[in-house]
Structure 1
Amino acid sequence: MKFLDVIVVFAMAVSVIDGQSDDEAWNEYKKEHGKNYWFYIDGGLRDRMRKRIFLYRNAEIKRHNSGKFSTYTQAHNYFSDMRPSEWQRYLGANPTKIPSNIFSEETNTIDTQRRQSLPENLDYRNDPCMPEVKNQAACGSCWAFAATNPLEFAHCKKSNAPVILSEKQLVDCDRVNAGCNGGWYTDAWDYIEKAGGSAQTSLYARYNARRGICRFRKRMIGAKVSSFSYVKANDVVAMQEAMQTYGPLAVAMTVVNSFASYGSGIYDDAACDNREVNHAVVLVGWDTVDGVDYWIGRNSWGPKWGENGYFRIKRGVNKCKIENYAAYVVPV
C-alpha cells in the first residue's frame, strides 16, 4: 500500500503531459503498447491503478530528462505501467552461477600499444549476420538470449549462412539453468556443446516465455559450439580484442529502475554500481562521442525498448559491472 500511496501523490502533481491531459496521455500509451485494463466487473479499478503507476513514472522521466548533467534520456515503454516487481521478471542472470575464482584479478593499467592497435569504433548492429532484436517477455531467460545471439553471429560469419537459434530449447532443455527462473550464458553454451548443437527456431518451437517439455532432436541443429571462454575481468582492451576476433560478447550487468526506462544516450546511472548483477545482455560494439567512451549493448526486451532494442553504456569504468563477466563462443 505504501508504494501505491506514493504513486498517488506523484500522480496528483501531474495534470498535463506534453500538452496532453492525463487521460489523453494514458489512452495514447495504452494504444501504442496494445494494453487494455478495462473490465466492467471491477468498474475500471485495474485501469485506474495502472494509470497511477504510469503517471508516477511520467513524473520520474520528466524529472530526469530536465536535468543538465546526465548523458542519457529516459522514455516511456512497455514497462511504464508496471510495478518494479513486475518488470523485474524480464531479468534473469543468476549470480550464483558465476565461477568463483575466474574474475579475481583486475587490470588497472592498459598497455598503450595494445590500445593503439584497436579501431576507434566497432558496430555489429547492422552487420548482415546480426538477427533482429528479440523479446524474452516476462520470463527470466535473458541468459538464453545472451547465449544464442553470439553463437548466431559467429556461426554466420564462419559459414556465411545466417541462422536464427532457439532460446526456447535452452529454456526447456537445459537443466543446469532454471528456465524462466534464471541462468548463466556459459552454462548454456556448455549445454549446447554437450547436447550436440543449438536448434533452429523454425524447427524447434516458437518462443512463448514458458518452460515446456524438451523436444530437441539432432535434426533441428542450426549451429554447434566448439569452445567458449571468459575474457579477463576489467580489461577493456581484452574485451575489444575478443569482440574483434570472435564477435559479440555475452555479459552480465546490474539493472536498476532507471535502466527499465532507458530511452537513448549513454547510460551512466551510479545507482547500478557495486551491486550484484541480475541481467544478461550482449555487447556488439564500442565508440566515443563528445569524449565519452561507451559500449553498444543489445538487450532482449524487444525493438521498442531503448534505441531500437539496443543501448549505450559508459565504457572503461565497469558501469553496472558490465566489464566483469564478458565471455565469447567459438562455433564448430
Structure 2
Amino acid sequence: MKLYLAILLVIVAVAVASKEEEDLWKSYKKKFNKNHSSKEDVNRKRNFIKRQKVIEAHNRDNKEWEMGHNKFSDMTEEETNVLRGTKMVKRRVKSASEPIYPVNERALPTYIDYRSNRCLQPVEDQGECGSCWAFAAITALEFNHCKKTGARGPLSEQMLVDCDTYNFGCNGGDFTQAWQYLENYGGAVNGTSYPYVSGTTQTNGTCKSGSNAVAARVGYYNWVIPYPNATLIMSYLQMEGPLPSAIKVLDSFFYYTSGVYSDPACIVSDEYDVNHAVVIVGYGTVPSTTTSPAIPYWIVRNSWSTGWGNGGYFFIRRGVNMCNIESWTAFVRAA
C-alpha cells in the first residue's frame, strides 16, 4: 500500500510539473511572439525548459545579478553563436601623440552615464547577423560626430556590413578595422538613407555607399593604452565619450536581466578570447551594505534590442577585467 501511494505521488508530481512547464512555455511564446510548427515546437520547448532550470538555479543562488527569459530562450546554440561576431585582429598602436588624461581615480567623477545624452542614438538590434562590431564602431562615431558638430543623427551600420572589405559582414569583424575603412574610404553615410536590414536577411547585401552622401568622417582612432587599466578607461570615458570594447560572451550572459554581471568562468588569461563587441557608456558603484561589499561596475550598451537586459544595457563588474572588457577599449574622434 505504501509503495502504491509513493508511486501515485510521483505520478502526480510529474503531471503537475509537466503542466507548469507547459503553462510557462505557452506564456513565453505569447510574450515573445514565437510561432513554431508542431514539429519544431517540441525542440524549442526543450531548449526553453533547459534554460528555465538554469535561470531558476542561478537566481536562487546568486544575489549580485539576475537572469530571465528573453528572445534567446528557445534558440539553439548554433543560433545564439551567430551573435558572437567579433574577430579582433592583432592590436596595432597608431603613432600619434595622445593627450595625458588623469589616471588618479580620486580626480575622476564617481559616476558617469551617457545613456540619456542627446548624442547617443537609441539601442538597436543586430538580429541574426554577427554585426556587433559594426554597431560598436558606429555608436562611438555617431556620438563623437554629434559632440563635435552638434548634428544628431543615425549613421549606417549596414554600409559597413555591405561595403567594409577589412571585415566580414555578418561573419564578424573588428570595430577598429571598421574605423580604418571609414577613414580610408571617405566616411559613414546616413543610417536613414542606408538602413540596417541584415538582421532580417541574415547576410550581407550589395554595397551602395557610392549612391549616398557621407554624413560623418573618422579623424583619428586608437586603443586605450596601457591595458587593462580600469582607471585609465574611466579617464578616457570622461574625455572621449562612449568606448567600444570586446568581451567574451558565456551562455549565462544571454539571459542577463539586472544587477552587476560577473562569472568566474569569464576571468580569462588570453586577451584574444573575445567574441562580441559592446560599448562602455558609463560607470558607477553599488554601495556597500552590512552584508555585502561595494561593487564597482561598467554601464555597457549591447546591440540585442531594448528587449534584452536593462533596456538594451547591462552592468558588469569593473576593475577585474571581467570577460576581457578592459583589454579592448578604443576611442574614435570625428573629423
Using the size of structure 2 for normalisation, the TM-score is: 0.86
Moved more, 136-145 or 113-122: 113-122
Q: Does 1:199 align with 2:189?
A: yes
Q: CA deviation at 1:28?
A: 1.6
Matches within 5 A, 1:1-332: 16=17, 21-38=20-37, 44-67=38-61, 69-95=62-88, 97-99=89-91, 114-209=104-199, 210-217=203-210, 219-232=212-225, 233-274=227-268, 276-290=273-287, 291-332=294-335
Does the Cα contact within 8 Å between 1:252 and 1:277 map onto a contact in 2?
yes
**Deviations 1:197-244, CA, capped at 9 Å, x for gaps:** 101111123433320110002743221110001002111121111111
**Deviations 1:69-124, CA, capped at 9 Å, x for gaps:** 441100100110012221111111113x132789xxxxxxxx99721110000000
**Deviations 1:113-159, CA, capped at 9 Å, x for gaps:** 72111000000011111111111111111100110001111111111
d(CA) in 2 for partners of 1:174, 1:31: 38
- SS of alignment partner, residue 205 of structure 1: coil
Counterpart of 1:108 in structure 2 is: none
Moved more, 214-223 or 322-331: 214-223
- SS of alignment partner, residue 171 of structure 2: coil
Q: Which runs of 4+ in 1 moved over 6 A?
A: none
The percentage of aligned residue pairs carrying the same residue is 40
Equivalent AA in structure 2 for residue 121 of structure 1: Y
**Deviations 1:252-298, CA, capped at 9 Å, x for gaps:** 00000000111110001111221610111000000000211000000
Does the Cα contact within 8 Å between 1:14 and 1:55 map onto a contact in 2?
no
Equivalent AA in structure 2 for residue 329 of structure 1: V
Equivalent AA in structure 1 for residue 207 of structure 2: C
- SS of alignment partner, residue 66 of structure 1: helix
Q: CA deviation at 1:188?
A: 0.2
Unaligned runs of 5+ in 1: 1-11, 39-43, 103-110
